[in-house]
Chain A
């Protein structure tokens, strides 16, 4: 399996607060990897480092064969290939759904507007959003907004998609429609790194699960091993708490 995105000894601190203490992670093409762990364990920061939204303090990140943490590497080029979807959607409120989706392709990829619109329509149709194409984000439900945010990232035709707790801000009855989209993407072979609290979803969809604790990947493996017979006491503790909370 060829490597899609790979982190080597990535460290990141905010002032005196160490968030990532040396992360090694290799995600293969078409692979789906879930990051689990308590709030503050570094999941979101790791994702934001992977597309260089946060500069790393030390360590290296490779996209395919290229080191993107090399000095003077064009960060905008990285982000054309690595999409991210945020917990709070972060749609552009002053733009219609269609404009949200076509902004990147038109202004960054320099695709002709008509073609970008055709491609956006195709994606919106595929994810059941075509009748919302001319609406503004504040007219959509949370689930619809998050699906638009996913479509916006997909419109860039990324090699890797990073999902940062994308269902955490949603009402429970809206989570299903968003997870359905991710399921479809996994089936179609999209390479994804997913930070999530949805344990049963992580178990179902991932080929590999990484448990983050204190800024390092404490344990990783196939979902059945991590959720079934974890090696580390910390992992068991975390999962026990999740089970006690009724989330697994």
Chain B
């Protein structure tokens, strides 16, 4: 061997961390330097990063954000149910169920094609104008319905991919025990399928959470409209920063949870394969 000494195991473990830290500091240091040395930086700093304005706007933003939270929590529960119903409808076998399958396919095609905001406009402005007795006119209600319809179309495709990923031998085993098709779906196929699609489901929900700002387009003062109002009163864009941050704070843990679930599933898959 040459005179070079081999690194100790401890040094070998620490070294990548040091390299990662150093390269991170250098990368973001250079980026910060470029931005803050730009000629317009002082004006940008005053308009977007004003601590005083941030402090003044934050309580209102947090308060209005609860409207968005309420929207996506209600919608997510409805989407999980409706998406599953559509996916199951689409996987029904045999000629008898042909109309249901066509309906499910048409539904998924239509609501994935039309921009979500337009669906909200049609429902939140259109239906109240009909003045049907007993039909709610609340824009919040119709936005919940519209986003549920749109996202259920996506989520039904996610569920369907999960259902189709379960090997037919599982259904054969279930049916061979005398379970009906519905029982096989309920006890054997769906529990495995749903577990597999949790990561892409959470991904769709991150999209939905951001789309809750569409509420502001049908006249509800939620977090986005609130920051817009604050911006126009204070002549400063910092309230938008507050709104952006609050979505980051909500989404990042969900994204990490998704990563963790994917990693856990992969570990399990490897264990099964050995």
Contacts and interface: CB of A to CB of B under 8 A. Distances in A.
A108 interface: yes
A156 B172 contact: no
B271 A138 contact: yes
Contact of B188 (A88, A92, A108): A92
A90 B173 contact: yes
B169 A92 contact: no
Interface stretch (B10-18, B63-71, B177-185, B233-241): B177-185
Given A93-B192, A104-B178, A107-B179, A138 B268 contact: yes
Q: Which of A77, A94, A153 has the most CB of B within 10 A?
A: A94
Given A86-B169, A90-B169, A51 B191 contact: no
B178 A92 contact: no
B170 interface: yes
B179 A53 contact: no
Contact of A94 (B173, B180, B183, B195): B195
A104 B178 CA distance: 7
B190 to A, nearest CB: 10
Interface string B218-238: 000000000000000000000
B189 to A, nearest CB: 10
Contacts, number: 60
B172 A76 contact: no
A80 interface: yes
A33 interface: no
A94 B176 contact: no
B141 interface: no
A80 B172 CA distance: 14
Contacts of B174: 92
B98 interface: no
Contacts of A152: 177
Nearest to B177: A104
Contacts of A92: 170, 173-174, 187-188, 192
A201 B172 CA distance: 27
B9 to A, nearest CB: 32
Contact of A103 (B175, B187, B268, B272): B187
Contacts of A77: 178
Given A86-B169, A94-B195, A138-B271, A107 B187 contact: yes
A37 interface: no
A30 interface: no
B179 A90 contact: no
Interface of A: 51, 53, 75-77, 79-80, 83-84, 86, 88, 90-94, 103-104, 107-109, 138, 152-153, 156
